[in-house]
């Protein structure tokens, strides 16, 4: 798809990581982030080939119900974008935040599964992650970005420019009894 080509090329172009392979899907998003009396570099990763065990571990830290990894993989494959944040420790990637969006690649996108590791919350990372998603979708000419926010994060999204119930449009759910 042309859209993906454009999106990936853009991100590959902005990579600031020393890496000679062609498939770089990450770039530095914060340098000198203070964590446990150290300075770490945080990267934004746009690759769908994410470590599912690391993702499960991350979701565990915020108390989410475990989901079969096979289904998580399928959901990721069928999402338009997967954005995650990580830092490296002993040459290993440490996943600290994740979000994905489904879309018709044209008019609308819906953001799902936004999670930030508790030790990294309230330091602006969630805001950076969502703003990166907004910028991406906007650059792909997708104008309407939607999500369903738990009550404790409604203010967080409002501060990022999201509006709840605009013109009394209601988010509605159907699920099996």
| Catalytic positions | 157
Question: If residue 161 lies in a helix (H) or strand (E), which one and from where to where?
Answer: none
The Cα 159–Cα 155 span in angstroms is: 6
Task: Assess 91 for contact with a copy of itself (CB under 8 A).
Answer: no
Q: Which secondary structure element, helix H or strand E, spans residue 30, and what is its range?
A: strand 26-35
Query: In the bound complex, what is the minimum distance in angstroms from residue 65's beta carbon to a copy of itself?
Result: 11
- Check binding of 59 to a copy of itself (CB under 8 A): no
Chain positions 122 to 161 lying near a copy of itself, rule: CB under 8 A, are: 134, 138, 143-151, 154, 157-158, 160-161
Instruction: Kindly tell me which of 17 and 69 has the beta carbon lying closer to a copy of itself.
Output: 69
The CA-atom distances, in angstroms, between 120 and each of 46, 75, 166 are: 19, 25, 31
| 66-73 contact pairs (CB < 8 A, 24+) | none
List the one residue from 110, 121, 123, 127 that touches a copy of itself (CB under 8 A).
110
Tokens of 155: 């203010």
What residues line the site for a copy of itself (CB under 8 A)? 67, 71-72, 74-76, 78-79, 100, 102-108, 110, 112, 134, 138, 143-151, 154, 157-158, 160-176
């Amino acid at each position: 798809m042309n859209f993906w080509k454009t999106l990936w090329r853009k991100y590959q172009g902005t990579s600031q990581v020393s890496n000679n392979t062609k498939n770089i899907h990450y770039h530095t998003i914060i340098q000198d982030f203070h964590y446990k009396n150290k300075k770490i570099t945080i990267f934004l990763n746009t690759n769908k080939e994410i470590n599912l065990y690391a993702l499960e571990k991350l979701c565990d830290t915020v108390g989410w119900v475990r989901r079969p990894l096979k289904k998580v993989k399928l959901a990721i494959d069928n999402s338009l974008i997967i954005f995650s944040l990580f830092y490296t420790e002993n040459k290993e990637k440490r996943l600290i935040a994740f979000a994905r969006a489904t879309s018709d690649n044209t008019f609308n996108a819906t953001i799902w599964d936004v999670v930030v590791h508790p030790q990294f919350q309230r330091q602006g990372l969630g805001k950076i992650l969502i703003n990166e998603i907004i910028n991406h979708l906007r650059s792909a000419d997708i104008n309407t970005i939607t999500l369903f926010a738990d009550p404790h994060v409604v203010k967080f999204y409002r501060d990022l420019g999201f509006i709840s119930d605009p013109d009394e449009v209601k988010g509605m759910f159907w699920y099996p009894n």
